[in-house]
Structure 1
C-alpha cells in the first residue's frame, strides 16, 4: 500500500510539472507567433490602391499592387491577383511567409504539398489498369490531397508550403492573395518574393519590388556577375528554382538524364507562371458533389473546434487540417440585418490553421445606402479588397484627422492601419468587400450601435466628455440600436 501511495504521489507530481511546463511553452510559442515585424506608419494620407503592373503568361495574367506604397508597407503585406484561363495551371510555388487567398470568380483544383505528410490520394489497381499504356507501365500516380475550390472559398497556406491551382471550369478563375510579409515566420528581409518550382517566372516576382530591394540588388550586382560567368548562356534572373542548380548534380540527385534536366531548366518567357495544359489533366480527386458534402460536414465540425481551448492538440495534425472554408453562404453570417446586409468572419475558431498563420478574414455585404458601423481594429491591420459595388469609406487617425475620405469601387484595395477608426457606406448598387486581417482572432470595437463604446459608457461620462446635456448624451447613446450593420435613414444621401 505504501509503495502504491508513493507511485501515485510521484505520478501526480510529474503530471503537475508537465502541465506547468507545457503551459509555459505554449505561452512562449503563442507570444512568439504574435510578434510581427513593425514598420513606420507615419501616415498622413491613405489612398485607394489599384494594380500597378500586369504580368502576362501563356494562360492568364497576374496583377501586382505597388509594394513601395506607404499603405502596404505600413501593414507590411503584399497583394496580388491571378486570373487563370480555362485549362490554365498556376505552376507550383512557395513563399517565406504565410498567405491567404480568396476565390473571386470561377472554380478549379488546388493542391498543397505539406512536408512530411503522406500521399493519401492514390489510384486504385483497377484505375491504374484503365489508364493509358504509358501510365500503366509505371507505378501509378499518388499525391497529397487535391481540393475543389469555387467562388467564395478562403484558402490558408502556411509558410513554405508549395501549392498550385488548375482551372477546370468554363470561365476564368480569379484569385486574390494576401502575402503577410511582416509575419514572424519571415526571417529574411521585407521584400515580396516567390520561389517558383516550374514555369518561367518573370523578374518582378524575384524580390526586387521595393526600394530596399533595388538598393540591395545594386550592391550585389558585382557578386552576381561572377556567378553568371560560370553559367555561360544561362540567365540568372527570372528562372524557377531548378534553373540555378548544376546540371550534373541535379541529374544525380533526381536520378534522371541530362536531357530531362535541360527541360527542367528551360527558360520560355512566353509561358510565364500560368501555363496552358494541352493534354488531359489527370489527378486523383473526389467528385465535386462528394467533396462539397464532405467539406460541409467538416465546416460543421470546425464550428466546435477552439484552438488551445476545448482542443487537446491531438484531434488534428497539420497533415489533416482543413486549409479552406467557404465564406459566401448567408446562413454562416455572424451578423445579419435584413435591411442592411450581412457580415461573416473566418478566424482561428472556425478554421484552426489560421492560428498558425496569425491571419483571419471578414466578408461584408452591404445593401443600398447601408452603413457598416464606425469602428476600429484593436489587434490588427485590415486590408480591404472591394469585390463589387461602390461606396464611400472614411478613415480617421489618432489625431482626429481624416486620412482617407473617398469613393471606392470594384478591384481597389484600401489599408486600414491598426487602431485607425473607419466607417463604410454603400452606394446605390450596394458594396461588398473582404478584409484580410493580421491577427487570427481579429475583432472590432464599435463607435456606434449596440455593444459599442457609446452604449457601454455611462451617460454622465459622455455628457462631460463632449460637453453636452444629459438628454443629448442619452440621444447620442441610444441613437442606433442595431448591431454593426445599420439600415439607411430616410434622409440618407447617395453617399
Structure 2
C-alpha cells in the first residue's frame, strides 16, 4: 500500500512540476511584429463566421487586421444557443473570455487532477457555473468545453494571446479539437437563424481546416487503448459529423456544486494548489467597482491580485460603464495593449499616437472591436445611450497613466513646471491642476451659452 501511495505521490508531483511550469513560465510576451507603422486604427466587426448546429462563431482575424497583428492577439465571439455544447478542445495559447450575455456551465480539465465530482457511475473533474459579466481564464493546453443549460443564447467574447510565451511554436493560433468534425460548417438556413447570417462579405472558415485529434490515429490502436468496438472508434474520429463546433445536446447532465457551495477538498496538497485554482471572477456587477462616479459611471478591473491565475496567463480585464455624455479621462497604458469590445451603446473615441496625430477619431458601436496600442493615449465620450465595454489587456497587472483629472500627471507636477511647459500664468496653471475634482470617470459638464459661443469662435479662429 505504501508503494502505491508513494507512486501516486511521485506521479502527482511530476504533474505539479510540469503543469505549473507550463503556466508559470518566465513572465512576458513574445515580441510582436518587428515593425508596426500604425497610422490609422479602425473599429472593426468580425470578418469571418462559422455556422454550427447549435450556434455560430465569428472571428476577427489578425492577418486582416494590422492592429491585432501588431498586438499579437486574436479575438472570437461565440453565440451558443440553448442546449448548445462547444466541443472539448485545447488551445495553444492562453485565452481570456468575457460572458457578454447568458449563463452556462464551464469545464476545464487540468492534468493530474482527480475526478472530484461523483454521482452514480460517473466521475469527472469539477464543473463551474458562469453568468453575464464573468471573466473565464482558459490556460494554454488545458482541455475545456462549455454548455448553455439555460433557455437564452450565450454570447462569449474570447481574447487569444498568440504572443504569449506559452505559445512556443509560432504566433499562429491553433485549437486542437477532441471531438466532432471542426472543419464542417452547417448549410445556410440549417443552423443559426438571424440577420447577421446573410452577410455575404465574410469569407469561408480558415481556422479549422482538419478533423479532430483522434482522426489521425490508427483504428486498431484506438480500439486497443480504449478497449472499445470499432463503431465507437468511428464516432470518436467524427469523419461523418457535420454538426460543426457547437452541437445540440438536448440531454446533458453533469454534477455542478451549488452556488456558494465549497468544493470538497482532498487532503492532497497538490490538488489544493493546482486543482482548486479559481478560473473565473465577475466584473459585471456594480458591487465592488474600482471606480464609481454616480453622475458618470464606473470601472471594474480584474488583475492577478484579484484572480491569481492571471499572473500565469499574463492577461487582465477591465469592464467599463459610462452614462449619457460622460467621459473617460484621457489616459494611456504603460505596460499593455488594450483590446476593447463594445458590449452596448456607443461612444466617440479618440486615439493619439506618439507624433501627436489622431490615429482614430470616430464612433464605436455595440459589437465592434478596437485596439489601443501600448502608450497610445485614448479618450472616450459616451453617446446619448451611454456606453459599456470590456477591455482585455496584455499584462496581468496593467497600469494606466491619467492625462487629466484628479489622478493625472498634471496634479503631480509642480505649478512652475506647468507654467513654463505650457507658457501659461500661475493662475491658469492652478486652474489646470485643480478645476476638475473628479478622477477617472468624468461627469458631463454643461457650460453657459456665452461660454460655448466663445469656445466655438476661438476654435474657428485658431483651430
Does the alignment pair 1:168 with 2:149?
Answer: yes
Match 1:47 to one of 18, 42, 45? 42
Match 1:445 to one of 388, 392, 401? 401
* Cα distance change on mapping 1:30 and 1:481 into 2, 3 Å: farther
In structure 2, what is the equivalent of residue 13 of structure 1?
none
**How far did residue 463 of structure 1 move?**
1.4
In structure 2, what is the equivalent of residue 291 of structure 1?
259
Runs of 4+ in 1 over 4 A off after TM superposition: 292-295, 313-316
Match 2:434 to one of 475, 478, 482? 478
For the 8 Å contact 1:454–1:477, the answer to whether it is kept is yes
For the 8 Å contact 1:340–1:486, the answer to whether it is kept is yes
SS at match of 2:92: coil
**How far did residue 254 of structure 1 move?**
2.0
Pairs within 5 Å for 1:162-311: 162-202=143-183, 237-268=209-240, 270-278=242-250, 280-286=251-257, 290-292=258-260
In structure 2, what is the equivalent of residue 93 of structure 1?
89
Match 1:64 to one of 28, 53, 59? 59
In structure 2, what is the equivalent of residue 306 of structure 1?
none
In structure 2, what is the equivalent of residue 5 of structure 1?
none
In structure 2, what is the equivalent of residue 121 of structure 1?
117
Q: Distance in 2 between matches of 1:161 and 1:189?
A: 19
SS at match of 1:454: helix
Q: Distance in 2 between matches of 1:314 and 1:254?
A: 28
Does the alignment pair 1:34 with 2:22?
Answer: no
**How far did residue 192 of structure 1 move?**
2.1
Unaligned runs of 5+ in 1: 1-25, 129-139, 205-213, 218-235, 296-312
**How far did residue 255 of structure 1 move?**
2.0
SS at match of 1:81: strand
Q: Distance in 2 between matches of 1:424 and 1:202?
A: 40
**How far did residue 281 of structure 1 move?**
1.1
**How far did residue 257 of structure 1 move?**
2.2
Q: Distance in 1 between matches of 2:111 and 2:290?
A: 35
Q: Distance in 1 between matches of 2:323 and 2:261?
A: 30
- Give the TM-score of the pair, scaled to structure 2: 0.83
In structure 1, what is the equivalent of residue 266 of structure 2?
none
SS at match of 2:77: strand
**How far did residue 491 of structure 1 move?**
3.8
SS at match of 1:32: coil
Match 1:435 to one of 386, 391, 394? 391
**How far did residue 294 of structure 1 move?**
5.2
Q: Distance in 1 between matches of 2:129 and 2:232?
A: 31
For the 8 Å contact 2:99–2:155, the answer to whether it is kept is yes
**How far did residue 245 of structure 1 move?**
1.1
For the 8 Å contact 2:184–2:243, the answer to whether it is kept is no
- Give the TM-score of the pair, scaled to structure 1: 0.77
Q: How many residues align?
A: 401
**How far did residue 315 of structure 1 move?**
11
For the 8 Å contact 1:199–1:274, the answer to whether it is kept is no
SS at match of 1:45: coil
Does the alignment pair 1:80 with 2:61?
Answer: no
Pairs within 5 Å for 1:390-469: 390-469=346-425
SS at match of 1:317: helix
In structure 1, what is the equivalent of residue 275 of structure 2?
319
**How far did residue 404 of structure 1 move?**
0.7
